């Protein structure tokens, strides 16, 4: 059974429920093949669709660039504007085929750059860091999986785990220096406009013959009409070639419906 509801911090249905199912159906998203969670940090209010799927783990794909960026910053491997030279190998995303900063690599989901990062950290230490950050199932496989464990497994994460991890990040509860957290926000900033900032990351996990998994996770910081932070995690089965657009657009639609975002488009 698919359920869409809004919960209080005590996990009881609130008196005024925003129907996320309607918001998703209106936007052409199959609620049985997706889940979205939004948590307001200030009072732990939680909106959720398809709680069963929210507990289901998938490969994080490029959303793992968030913990990987944190590790790179904390260990001193890279800073937001660190230049990474292109190795001359042509990737299927045009933005990958040039020199990049860490900020640019995060935005473009450059697999090569993040593979270089985990190589620099090493398999044993990356395993230690994922455990320290309590990210997903914390599995990195064997040393031979070092450059693919977040793309093909064994690393997996659920939408609920994404929300828990991001909530700790925005609340400053991860075992990281204030400098790392400040630089992470600089890297993750997706949009800034008066009164509102969006920090986010997409992900696209290739799953062969079964539908690919699409992700969009992050948080919003609002300064007015009052200061609020909304953490979100969304995943869906991507079946058609146009489903990749639904990741960001669906989250924008839902956040607008529940009043977390003004009606003006992000972009």
pLDDT of residue 228: 93
Share of the chain above pLDDT 70, in %: 85
pLDDT of residue 14: 38
* pLDDT at position 55 over 70: yes
Q: How far is CA 222 from CA 29, 47, 127, in A?
A: 26, 18, 34
Secondary-structure breakdown of the chain: helix, strand, coil percentages, each rounded to the nearest 5: 40, 25, 35
pLDDT of residue 96: 60
In order of start, what are the domains of the chain with their CATH numbers?
4-257 (3.40.710.10)
- What number is the average pLDDT over the span 236-252? 84
Q: At residue 230, what are phi and psi to the nearest 5 degrees?
A: -115, 120
Where residue 192 falls among pLDDT bands split at 50, 70, 90?
confident
When comparing pLDDT for 243 and 250, which is higher?
250
- What number is the average pLDDT over the span 102-111? 92
Residue range 56-100, pLDDT digits in tens: 999 999 999 999 999 999 999 998 888 777 675 656 666 665 678
Q: At residue 231, what are phi and psi to the nearest 5 degrees?
A: -100, 140
pLDDT of residue 15: 30
Task: Tell me the Cα Rg of the chain.
Answer: 18
- What number is the average pLDDT over the span 171-190? 96
When comparing pLDDT for 156 and 5, which is higher?
156
Residue range 9-18, pLDDT digits in tens: 434 333 334 4
Distance of alpha carbon 220 from alpha carbon 255, whole angstroms: 10
When comparing pLDDT for 24 and 170, which is higher?
170
Residue range 197-222, pLDDT digits in tens: 999 999 998 877 678 999 999 999 98
Residue with tokens 């994080």: 60
Lowest-confidence range among 101-105, 182-186, 230-234? 101-105
| Average pLDDT, rounded, for the chain | 86
Residue with tokens 């750059």: 113
Distance of alpha carbon 229 from alpha carbon 101, whole angstroms: 28
* pLDDT at position 3 over 70: no
* pLDDT at position 184 over 70: yes
Q: How far is CA 238 from CA 23, 25, 181, 209, 213, in A?
A: 18, 15, 32, 12, 6
Contacts by residues 10-19 (CB-CB < 8 Å, ≥ 24 positions apart) = 11/46, 14/45, 18/47, 18/257, 18/258
Residue with tokens 């994404």: 162
Residue range 110-138, pLDDT digits in tens: 899 999 999 999 999 999 999 999 999 99
Which value, to the nearest 10 degrees, does the dihedral of the CA atoms of residues 235, 63, 8, 195 take? Answer: -110
Distance of alpha carbon 6 from alpha carbon 47, whole angstroms: 4
């Amino acid at each position: 059974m698919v359920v869409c509801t809004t919960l209080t911090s005590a996990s009881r249905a609130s008196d005024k429920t925003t129907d996320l199912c309607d918001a998703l159906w209106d936007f052409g998203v199959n609620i049985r093949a997706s889940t979205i969670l939004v948590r307001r940090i200030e009072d732990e209010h939680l909106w959720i669709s398809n709680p069963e799927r929210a507990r289901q783990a998938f490969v994080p794909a490029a959303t793992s660039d968030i913990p990987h960026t944190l590790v790179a910053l904390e260990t001193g491997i890279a800073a937001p504007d660190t230049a990474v030279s292109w190795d001359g190998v042509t990737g299927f995303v045009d933005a990958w085929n040039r020199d990049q900063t860490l900020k640019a690599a995060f935005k473009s989901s450059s697999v090569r750059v993040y593979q270089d990062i985990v190589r620099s950290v090493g398999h044993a230490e990356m395993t230690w860091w994922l455990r320290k950050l309590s990210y997903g199932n914390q599995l990195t496989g064997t040393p031979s999986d070092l450059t693919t464990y977040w793309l093909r497994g064994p690393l997996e994460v659920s939408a609920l785990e994404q929300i828990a991890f991001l909530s700790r990040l925005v609340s400053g509860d991860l075992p990281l220096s204030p400098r790392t957290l400040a630089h992470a926000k600089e890297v993750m900033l997706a949009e800034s406009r008066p009164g509102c900032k969006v920090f986010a990351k997409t992900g696209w996990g290739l799953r062969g013959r079964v539908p690919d998994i699409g992700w969009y996770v992050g948080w919003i910081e609002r300064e007015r009409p009052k200061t609020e932070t909304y953490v979100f995690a969304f995943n869906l089965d991507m079946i058609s070639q146009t489903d990749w657009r639904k990741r960001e657009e669906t989250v924008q639609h839902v956040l607008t419906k529940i009043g977390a975002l003004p009606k003006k488009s992000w972009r």
